[in-house]
Amino acid sequence: MATVVLVGTLDTKGAEYAWLTERIRELGCDVVLVDAGVMPSPLGSPAGDIDAAAVARRAGHGLEALRAAGDRGAAVTAMAEGVERIVGDLHREGQVHAVLAVAGSGGSFIAARAMQALPIGVPKVLVSTMASGDVSPYVGSSDITMMYSVVDVAGINSVSSQILGNAAAAAAGMAIHREQSLKRSEPQGRPLIGASMFGVTTAAVDAARQRLDELGYEVLVFHATGAGGRALEKLAAGGFLSGVLDLTTTELADELVGGVLSAGPDRLTAAGRGGVPQVVAPGALDMVNFGAADTVPERFAHRHLLVHNPTVTLMRTTPEEMTELGASMGRKLASAHGPTAVLWPLGGVSAVDAPGGPFHDPEADAAGLASLRTALRGSAVDLREIGAHLNDPSFAVAAADHLHQLITARSRSHPNG
């Protein structure tokens, strides 16, 4: 039977979770109720199949000690860690076909941490009072479905019963579909490639995607807007990808300089850690991204800025910044455990970094390449300098062909994966 894992703070939401449990069972699913509450539950509240004490222990804490400390923030963090580990255990045991939570801010934090740790494809539904605002802290780079609770999660009434009922039906339906799909053991499709793209590298990625399609791959394209880079890293870490074509590494520039599209310090590391074959290029490293022109920090007022559109302003990276970016890229890739290559286009790294273009700066690009060479010296990374622009079809096809060669060679040397 398909199983829905309910994650809730039963010290404050017991009635709601008792109601959800009944609805989900009526819909034909089993339920595992995980209690993430810290304080004692009121009389009449349901008991969790996995109680709060077990959740606290899984995080290395005693529940009574958390209560006695009186530090709500620390207690919520500890329970989130425990829930993440318990739900992960249940998933590895085949007992998770969907996860559902209904919560305020604290419960949303707890449930979202567990959901984000699950692989892409495991259904995740979070009904939250926080869902009408910025949901990025809760969704992250995962496939979490968020619903706004409209009214507070405080009892079952004529409004909440409709919203929570829809959530229960959605989670149950997805769980049943998930369970049936796993039973069928559906054959795998074409090998998956993750590719990174930006507007100014679209021509390269489109040409490479066409070539990889001819070679028998399915290409998943991620827009390099911070969230896209994190999603690419998550899929690479989760073992979903046969290879990574990272032609657009612009998020590294935003992380270094302080732009708005950083993917965090771990960008460009997951494929290397997992031994996934990867071909990397400095696509759009010539720019740092900001919002509308009046949002660019004052400290950059003297810099070379380009209004890309009314909501996006680009700033050209300097030779000094490109030097740091090349070194950072080299350090990360030099530690890769799998076949890795860097293809550097000598004709420019984006649509606006071409002869006559507003960001054309051969000195800055050369500085990045020089520091990359130094950082890769003595490593197994294959660095190739291509006498073409990044968006030239010849460069794109060369990158696609080289990734295919790395994947093929790895398959021959590791026939069992």
Q: What is the pLDDT of residues 64-101, one digit of tens each?
A: 999 999 999 999 999 999 999 999 999 999 999 999 99
Same CATH fold assignment for domains 3-184 and 192-413: yes
DSSP 162: H
Q: At what angle do helices 160-184 and 10-26 cross, to 10 degrees?
A: 60
Q: Are 171 and 213 in contact (CB under 8 A)?
A: no
The answer to whether residue 201 scores a pLDDT higher than 70 is yes
CATH class of this structure's domain 3-184: alpha beta
Backbone angles phi, psi at 245, to 5 degrees: -110, 90
Q: What percent of the chain has pLDDT over 70?
A: 98
The answer to whether residue 281 scores a pLDDT higher than 60 is yes
Which amino acid is it at 138?
Y
Q: What angle do CA 218, 220, 225 make, to 5 degrees?
A: 165
Over residues 294-301, mean pLDDT: 95
Task: Kindly give the residue spans of alpha helices, DSSP state H, lying in 37-159.
Answer: 52-58, 63-69, 72-92, 105-117, 136-139
Q: At what angle do helices 393-413 and 202-214 cross, to 10 degrees?
A: 40
The answer to whether residue 258 scores a pLDDT higher than 60 is yes
Which residues in 46-69 are b (16+ Cβ under 10 Å) and which e? Answer: bebebbbbebbebbebebeebeee
Quote the mean pLDDT of the chain: 94
The answer to whether residue 416 scores a pLDDT higher than 70 is no
Domain 192-413, what fold?
Rossmann fold (3.40.50)
User: Where do the structural domains in the chain lie, given as residue ranges?
Assistant: 3-184, 192-413
Q: In this predicted structure, what is the pLDDT of residue 140?
A: 86
Q: In this predicted structure, what is the pLDDT of residue 174?
A: 97
Which residues contact residue 10 at a Cβ distance below 8 angstroms, ignoring those fewer than 6 apart? 17, 33, 35, 36, 37, 41, 45, 46, 47, 48, 52
Over residues 360-368, mean pLDDT: 98
Confidence tier at 154 by pLDDT (50, 70, 90): confident
Q: What is the distance between the alpha carbons of residues 175 and 90, in angstroms, rounded to a whole number?
A: 14
Over residues 97-108, mean pLDDT: 95
